[in-house]
Structure 1
């Protein structure tokens, strides 16, 4: 998986965040079920059909860091949204980590991205 080695929230055996985050997110739902659930995993390759998955969604802004593990998932979601006629703005920040907009030390990328989000909201 691209960016698995660079994502600040490592996932997998021995990764504290992954050991907590996945069960906290899934609750009583089993992992295998989540992989086919279009609401929990809209970028999953196991979802079928994908056509119409996002039909009727409002305009959407997707922001992702170029160094985060869910970058590919973000791009798949954007492609599926666009295929269903949704107005999508994709903002990929090179070398940014997961949730970079919450980290005050991730400047100037953080402030620049927040400005782009604000401009998008004002449109």
Structure 2
């Protein structure tokens, strides 16, 4: 069964422990998906959420194998490309909204080209910091 009426969520760089409790999340060792190189060759830790809906369940089920992994790979690749084309200070401060918008636009283009049946709702940068 494909959930077409719900907004689904993928988290990058952290995982929510208990749904509905905003402050309960695990940072764990998700650095492989959150540490990124910026355009000025600095490293930053980017944690983000992508919310989406399954708009076309037939395409979702039959056009792409391993939908979740494909979705996560696309999200990570696009985020790395967008962050890599910007200054670290821009991503850390005033450019956060622009990064989110650009990632959403590029992701949706790829998802549509792959005929995934997925429609993005939002891309939100949760926490952007220099690495520990």
Scaled by the length of structure 1, the TM-score of the pair is: 0.24
Scaled by the length of structure 2, the TM-score of the pair is: 0.23
- Give the number of the structure with larger relative contact order, counting CA–CA contacts within 8 Å between residues 6 or more apart: 2
More strand by share: 2
